[in-house]
Amino acid sequence: MAPVEIRIEQENGQWRFSYITDFSYVGHPYPELAKEVDFDFDNNRASVLYSWEELITDSRVIEFYQMWERNFVAYVEMEVFDKIKVTAENQ
């Protein structure tokens, strides 16, 4: 399974999403990682590879995000991801 990267940041004592990026392998015969789905909360944009880019507040994006989140949580519960890594950065 291709990786998913989630960045959260603390702002005014509250945690918030900075971005969520779901990668996929693209290309043949030597596939490389590419951003397949990107929710960029810092820049208020969302995009899907080879498809669309919209404001994150667009109803189509909200609906898609809800579906993506349900699927992601289901994959975590099914232990589909073989490795979870948490990295803390000093700012």
Summary mean pLDDT of the chain: 93
pLDDT tens digit sequence for 25-38: 999 999 999 999 99
Q: Per the CATH hierarchy, to which homologous superfamily does domain 4-77 belong?
A: Protein of unknown function DUF2787 (3.10.450.430)
User: What is the pTM for the complete model shown?
Assistant: 0.88
39: left (phi over 0), alpha (psi -120 to 50) or beta: beta
Strands (E), 1-91: 4-11, 14-26, 32-40, 45-48, 52-55
What is the per-residue pLDDT for 44? 98
Annotated domain spans of the chain: 4-77
What is the per-residue pLDDT for 21? 96
pLDDT tens digit sequence for 36-61: 999 999 999 999 999 999 999 999 99
